[in-house]
Amino acid sequence: MEAIRVENLEKRYGDKTALNGVSLQAPSGLITAILGPNGAGKTTLIRIITTLIFPDKGNVFLFGEDPFKEKKVFNRIGYVQELPNLPPFLSGRELLELSARLKSVPKEDVKRVLEMVGMTENANKKIAKYSKGMIQRIALAEAFLGNPEILIMDEPNVGTDPILNLRMRDILNEMVKNGTTIVMTSHELEEVKKLADKVFLIYRGKVFFEGTTEELILRFIGVRVILETDDKENLLSVLKDLDYVKGVEMYKEKISVELVRDAREELLKELILRGVKVKAFYLDQDLEQAYERAIKEADGK
Ligand SMILES: Nc1ncnc2c1ncn2[C@@H]1O[C@H](COP(=O)(O)OP(=O)(O)OP(=O)(O)O)[C@@H](O)[C@H]1O
């Protein structure tokens, strides 16, 4: 069953349409990423799911319940806002203790979440004195309080350093293993590629693509295999004979081979059979390029 279901959401700000009929489902116990260029409608969607704003039309269901009617469902959710605006006069620890009380989470959990985000040492400093990354860490810690069943994060990687990103990946994977459903928006495609089980690409208030990152790559780049060999001549002569090879591009050490269909196995067998010594053979996984092409297609270019 899906933890989050959104049906036909519409939202206008004056004459600006932010959401133009968005439907999506976030499957339970998986990580779903919402992608899209600036202004696509991602934050508007997250704000409606978390009931911070009302939609003009459409429905939201969290565990099958309407959160606009069943406020109790919020005890089961952790939420990280885009560019969190935390009270500067509190320390990180004070904020978390306050949140724990509001969420009816035992105070001891504050220690655990501070450790998770590496903020134990800085916990007693006032938020006013925190760096951007530290604020983000505390916002994440707040969302982790009480082990939420759904974790919703709007651009969690803004301001975070590579060490935290690495740690975050472990934390999120661990949470998912324990059954948490995660929904995040992000412009950090490398993080998305490593984390997301499913992505929704939003463009001008509509879902333009839904699938895995691999499917996004296959649809917008096609099947491209990257080969590395010291035996380029032999390789090229084999490739010339194969009707499923659409194009070949040469780079310094690599050769990119575009296929008309997913004939990876056949190609590898053929190369081995004809004695081409292949050092590396892998699918082109350039999510950034696939994303760029998807946006161009969405834009009708
Ligand atoms: N409070 C508001 N008043 C008026 N227009 C708004 C408001 N909030 C968002 N918009 C507009 O709605 C559209 C969607 O904005 P939204 O913030 O949801 O996009 P986003 O995909 O989250 O963008 P970003 O990647 O830049 O965070 C944009 O055109 C934006 O200008």
Q: Tell whether 155 and 238 lie within a shared domain.
A: no
> Of 125, 100, 8, 105, whose CA–CA distance to 58 is shortest?
8
State the residue range of the domain holding 245: 222-285
The pLDDT score that the predictor gives to residue 59 is 96
Structure tokens at 108: 């001891």
Domain C-terminal end among 158, 178, 212: 212
Query: From CA 277, how far away is CA 272, in angstroms rounded?
Result: 7
Cβ of residue 44 lying under 6 Å from some atom of ligand 1: yes
The pLDDT score that the predictor gives to residue 90 is 97
Cβ of residue 40 lying under 6 Å from some atom of ligand 1: yes
What is the residue with the minimal CA distance to atom 11 of ligand 1?
18
Q: Provide the percentage of residues in the chain whose pLDDT is more than 70.
A: 100
Q: How many domains does the chain have?
A: 2
Task: List, for residues 27-52, the tens digit of each pLDDT value.
Answer: 999 999 999 999 999 999 999 999 99
Task: List, for residues 171-199, the tens digit of each pLDDT value.
Answer: 999 999 999 999 999 999 989 999 999 99
CATH number at residue 116: 3.40.50.300
Cβ of residue 42 lying under 6 Å from some atom of ligand 1: yes
Query: From CA 24, how far away is CA 102, in angstroms rounded?
Result: 30
Q: Is the pLDDT of residue 76 over 90?
A: no
DSSP state of 260: S
148-157: average pLDDT: 94
Out of 14-18, 66-70, 74-78, 225-229, which region has the weakest mean confidence (pLDDT)? 74-78
The pLDDT score that the predictor gives to residue 280 is 94
72-90: average pLDDT: 90
Task: List, for residues 217-260, the tens digit of each pLDDT value.
Answer: 989 988 999 999 998 999 999 999 999 999 999 988 899 999 99
The pLDDT score that the predictor gives to residue 252 is 81
Cβ of residue 138 lying under 6 Å from some atom of ligand 1: no
Q: Is the pTM of this model over 0.90?
A: no
The pLDDT score that the predictor gives to residue 301 is 67
Residue 273 lies in a domain: yes
- Read out DSSP for 69-89? T-GGGGGGEEEE-SS----TT
Q: Quick one: which H or E segment has residue 160?
A: none
Ligand 1: residue of 10, 16, 49, 83 to mutate (most ligand atoms within 8 A of CB) is 16
Ligand 1: residue of 6, 9, 10, 13 to mutate (most ligand atoms within 8 A of CB) is 13
Q: Are residues 154 and 81 in contact, defined by beta-carbon separation less than 8 angstroms?
A: yes
Q: Tell whether 21 and 139 lie within a shared domain.
A: yes
Domain C-terminal end among 188, 212, 236: 212
Task: List, for residues 94-138, the tens digit of each pLDDT value.
Answer: 999 999 999 899 999 999 999 999 999 999 999 999 999 999 999
Say how far residue 114 (Cα) sits from the centre of its chain. Answer: 23
Q: What is the Å distance from ligand 1's center to 53 Cα?
A: 13
The count of C-alpha atoms lying within 13 angstroms of the C-alpha of 225, restricted to the half-sphere facing its C-beta, is: 24
Q: Tell whether 205 and 272 lie within a shared domain.
A: no
Q: Tell whether 107 and 7 lie within a shared domain.
A: yes
Q: What is the mean pLDDT of the chain?
A: 93
